[in-house]
Structure 1
Amino acid sequence: MAGVGSYLKKHTEALVKDVGIEPACTLTGKSKATLGRYYSDNEEHSDRFMPIDAVAALEEAASYPHVTSALADLKGITLSYDDRRRNIDDKGGINADVIALSQRFAMLMAEYQQSIEDGVITVNEAKRLLKETTALQQVLIEMKLHLEDGPI
């Protein structure tokens, strides 16, 4: 459980920092100290986790559902998260998906090459890789939906 707890605490910290500490305090009704305990690595706080209602309130305000995504990862579940909110009807179909897939994969590989140049992938580099991986996943989901729609 120690590894799982640490993993969840890291994502809890990312969630609070995404929203901002002051707004997080307002949204959850918790103090800065209490929020800090929820993601603290100190042994004395190892059994403290953010309540689910606080997670829900923060994820509503956040740019990404950090804790929900972490829980899904732990269970081996893949979530589909689309923050683009496109209003246009995508008429490109499978051909446009293949092109988008190639472009996204190239962007992921370029980001990876840049990140691994010095032999170490930093936290910020890992976040950029995660963002590219998620974008690539979204293209694959769109491609899957187009293929399920029927004949090409």
Structure 2
Amino acid sequence: MSETVGNYLKKHSEALVKDVGVEAAARLCGKSKATLGRYYSTDPDHADRFMPVDVVAALEGSARFPHVTAALADLRGITLSYDQDKKNTSSGGVNSDVVALSQRFAMLMAEYNQSIEDGKISINEAKRLLTETLAIQKVLIDMKLNLEHEAN
């Protein structure tokens, strides 16, 4: 596996753990916080350690977004779509999706503008941009589902 792919998976593993919360994640999967940290550590000592599939499944069951599954799908060029029965959510339809998409895109552009101000994007700035692009991805998935529903 290339270093780029490994780092991509580690970043999404970290996003998954932080989505659930480190303490809650440790309880859910029966691993220590240190072990979870090693799964997404980019330190050379942990470069070949990745989150096991059973841990991913346990955490994604409680997460707001399937970060690792989405990353694996992205790497294969696969598009995911969610089940209509998402927990604790209600949809306002395509019109509200368009508004949400516009708002998220504006937030991404504002973040990008601020990040590129000094001519380079730092690691923290890149993480904030990644957060915004993931939020756009979630809105687009909702929009896709609403459009599929209207087409049927």
- TM value normalised by structure 1: 0.69
Which residue does 1:51 correspond to in 2?
Answer: 52
Aligned length: 146
Partners of 2:19 and 2:80 in 1: CA distance: 19
Q: Per the alignment, do residues 80 and 34 of structure 1 end up closer, same or farther by CA in structure 2, a change over 3 Å counting?
A: same
Matches within 5 A, 1:30-41: 30-41=31-42
Pair 1:30–1:120, CA change in 2 (3 A): same
For the pair shown, which has the larger CA radius of gyration, 1 or 2? 1
- Cα separation, partners in 2 of 1:118 and 1:80, compared to 1, 3 Å: farther
Q: Return the letter of the residue paired with 1:76.
A: G
In the alignment, what sits opposite 1:75? 76
Partner residue in 2 for 1:25: 26
Alignment partner, residue 149 of structure 1: 151
The corresponding residue for 1:112 is 112
Is the deviation greater in 55-64 or in 136-145? 136-145
Asked if the contact 2:73/2:80 (under 8 Å) is kept, the reply is yes
SS at match of 2:61: helix
Unaligned 5+ runs, structure 2: none
Asked if the contact 2:97–2:142 (Cα under 8 Å) also holds between the matched residues in 1, the reply is no
Cα distance between partner residues in 2 of 1:107 and 1:83: 25
Q: What root-mean-square deviation, in Å, do the aligned CA atoms of Structure 1 and Structure 2 show?
A: 3.5
Match of 1:6, as an amino acid?
N
Deviates more, 1:37-46 or 1:2-11: 37-46
Q: Is the 8 A contact 1:72 1:78 kept in 2?
A: yes
Structure 1 residue identity aligned to 2:116: I
- Kindly report which structure 2 residues correspond to 1:86-101, keeping only aligned pairs within 5 A, or say none: 86-88=90-92, 90=93, 92=95
- Alignment identity in percent? 65
Deviation readout 1:11-54 (Å, 9 max, x if unpaired): 21222222222211110111223222222323343322211111
CA distance in 2: counterparts of 1:102 and 1:17, whole angstroms: 26
Cα drift, residue 111 of structure 1: 2.8
- 1:79/1:114 CA distance change after superposition, 3 Å: farther
